[in-house]
Amino acid sequence: MGAPERIGRRQRRRQETIEEIVDVAVEVMTEHGAGGLTIGEIARRMGIQPPSLYVYFDSKNAIYDAVFARGWTALLDSMAPLGERLDNTDNTDNTADAPALLLIVAQHFTRWAVENRPYAELMFWRPVPHYEPSAAAFAPAVEMSRRGTQLFAELQRRGVVRGNVAASEMSTMWTVLISGVISQHLSNEPTQTFDRGRFTSLLPTLTSMFLAHYGPKGERDDGTNDGHPGVGATDARSSRRGEAGHGATQRDARATSRPR
């Protein structure tokens, strides 16, 4: 066996062990919450001594980072087909398919969070004192934010929502709306399924309210808002970060969607 092959095998084994550690960490978080994760418990369940874990992660926060990145990557991948579905929607059918797809986006995003609670708690809340995700771990959340803003820009282009409001503002508002549903469900009905939840069942009504507020009927010919003072003004403070969130989420997404 040549040296490159031996190195390749060692790297594969190392990566497999890293993935196993993350799997066990999620298992512990499922049972005890994100704040209940300990190096000792991970090691106990893996049948190794705690110092052995530091060969793979230099701290417990590094393990949180791996969980955080895995969660956002999984959610991003899960949402991708919905973006493709919008791309394939007939541009002429603006009044039906696109609004219906927005509800599907809301339900899919929220369902994922409900069904992946250990990840969602870390992604959307601040359950661990002094933990902040690294830039690398946060990158998928930033990409989710970009796609969220891109979604509303496309809905503007199709005339589903009015064009005199920044797409980033609508994405922020959407984040607040969806994150509220997720937070209420996880806080008050943590063992309830998505399909039977009191708060998740409100998504159709909330989506309709959102579209009623941002629909093109609120836009006058001169490009100003009719009956919605203040809506449409771009918030430079939020645009500096971009909106990521539960429908679009990044650092703003975390700040918006994670109750303190």
DSSP output for 45-93: HHTS-HHHHTTT-SSHHHHHHHHHHHHHHHHHHHHHHHHHHHHTS-TT-
Torsion angle, CA of 218/224/230/231, rounded to 10 degrees?
A: 50
- What are the tens digits of pLDDT across the range 5-58? 666 888 999 999 999 999 999 999 999 999 999 999 999 999 999 999 999 999
Q: Which two tokens stand for residue 54?
A: 């530091």
Asked if 252 and 241 touch (Cβ cutoff 8 Å), the reply is yes
- Mean pLDDT value of segment 117-130: 95
Enumerate the CATH 1.10.10.60 domain ranges in the chain, comma separated: 1-58
CATH number of the structural domain 64-257: 1.10.357.10
Contact 200, 110 (CB under 8 A): yes
Tokens 């009191």 -> residue? 198
Look at domain 1-58 and name its CATH class.
Answer: mainly alpha
* Residue that wins the pLDDT comparison between 134 and 220: 134
Distance CA(75)–CA(69), nearest Å, equals 10
Identify any residues that bridge with 219 across adjacent strands, giving them in sequence order.
225
Rounded to whole angstroms, the Cα distance separating 226 from 219 reads 6
What is the pLDDT at residue 2? 57
pLDDT of residue 246 exceeding 60, the answer is: no
Place of tokens 């090691």: 43
Residue ranges matching CATH 1.10.357.10 in the chain: 64-257
